[in-house]
Amino acid sequence: MTSPLHRLYSFRRCPYAMRARLGLLFAELPVALREITLKNKPEQMLEISPKGTVPVLQRADGTVIEESLEIMVWALEQQDPQGLLDENVLSQAHALIEQNDSEFKHWLDRYKYADRHLEMTQTAYRQRGEAFLQVLEELLTKNAYLLGSRVTIADIGIMPFVRQFAHVDRDTFYSLPYPKLQQWLQNWLAHPLFLQVMTKFQPWQEGDAVVVFPS
């Protein structure tokens, strides 16, 4: 008898959902993917997670994980064939992700939506966000990945947000003095697992066939 799949409610372009999907891919852990639209969230998702944000993972036993970092960690604790939860750098990885999620995300949102935050100019918001980019650039001058010669949870936890920052104004981003970071991002954008993460799916509706991710 086939074991029931965990269910992941996701939204393709959300950086939090991206990193959850990356965690599942690196863990080689299949889920039933339910792609949503933010303007028409399915009742089934809101019933298990009333806050209404993605990603949301409903495990096969019915328990729910509502935070992307917790989904990544949980998936990699099940199996971690590439060693992303390297104990030697795990505390540093969590600290870096915390800086990303609090400080950098704050300025990223204001840089992306500067027309909604008129206290400062878009350029000023970008420059505030660059403080974190400088930290990443310094780390990448030493290694191919943020915390060493191999990918860790820090890379997959932070990359979707750097991608979003870069996409606000690509020409400006690639003119900034962060060559190691720019190359790191380019490498990720071409990575087979990231390309798989960005596969387009139709929004899920009750009665649809199960979409297994990764397929």
Which domains does the chain show, CATH number per domain? 6-82+198-213 (3.40.30.10), 90-194 (1.20.1050.10)
Separation between Cα atoms, residue 9 and residue 86, nearest integer Å = 27
Which residues, 6+ apart, have CB-to-CB distance to 125 below 8 Å? 107, 110, 111, 114, 117
- pLDDT for 45: 97
Asked if pLDDT for residue 84 goes beyond 80, the answer is yes
Question: Mean pLDDT over all residues of the chain?
Answer: 97
Separation between Cα atoms, residue 39 and residue 21, nearest integer Å = 21
What confidence tier does 211 reach under pLDDT thresholds 50, 70, 90?
very high
Separation between Cα atoms, residue 104 and residue 131, nearest integer Å = 8
List, for residues 39-72, the tens digit of each pLDDT value. 999 999 999 999 999 999 999 999 999 999 999 9
Tell me the percentage of the chain whose pLDDT exceeds 70: 99
Say what the pTM is. 0.96
Asked if pLDDT for residue 9 goes beyond 50, the answer is yes
- pLDDT for 215: 80
CA atoms within 13 A on the CB side of 27: 22
List, for residues 189-207, the tens digit of each pLDDT value. 999 999 999 999 999 999 9
31-35 vs 212-213, strand pairing mode: antiparallel
Asked if pLDDT for residue 36 goes beyond 70, the answer is yes
What confidence tier does 81 reach under pLDDT thresholds 50, 70, 90?
very high
Asked if pLDDT for residue 162 goes beyond 60, the answer is yes
Residue 11, φ and ψ in degrees, nearest 5? -135, 120
Asked if pLDDT for residue 2 goes beyond 70, the answer is no
Asked if pLDDT for residue 1 goes beyond 60, the answer is no
